[in-house]
Amino acid sequence: MDEKTQKDIITVLMKANRPDLVAVLLTLFEEIDSDFEYEEQDEPYEEFMEGASVPEEDVTYGETSDGFFYLK
């Protein structure tokens, strides 16, 4: 969540006289920002995606007179 959105939420809560919720949200915002970490990959993205891909199948299909497709 960006800082502008966080400030907008805090402003609304302060206008509603809810400093207790502001305190809770501030601690949550700090925890959310500090826990984020990127996952490290051992291999480049292209090679990672190639290993999980399924070979393409030769799919032939036809079309009915109503415009529906079906596998042959």
- Could you give the CA distance from residue 42 to residue 65 in angstroms, rounded to a whole number? 51
Give residue-wise pLDDT tens across range 25-46: 999 888 876 656 667 767 676 7
**Cβ within 8 Å of residue 14, ≥6 positions away:** 22
Residue type, 71: L
- Whether residue 1 is predicted with pLDDT greater than 90 in this model: the reply is no
Number of domains the chain contains: 1
Do 29 and 9 meet the contact criterion of CB atoms below 8 Å apart? Answer: no
| pLDDT-derived band at 2, boundaries 50, 70, 90 | confident
- Could you give the CA distance from residue 48 to residue 40 in angstroms, rounded to a whole number? 12
pLDDT, averaged across the chain: 81
Q: Which domain holds residue 60?
A: 3-71
Do 25 and 10 meet the contact criterion of CB atoms below 8 Å apart? Answer: yes
Give the pLDDT of residue 30.
83
- Whether residue 58 is predicted with pLDDT greater than 70 in this model: the reply is yes
Pair of tokens at residue 66: 């109503």
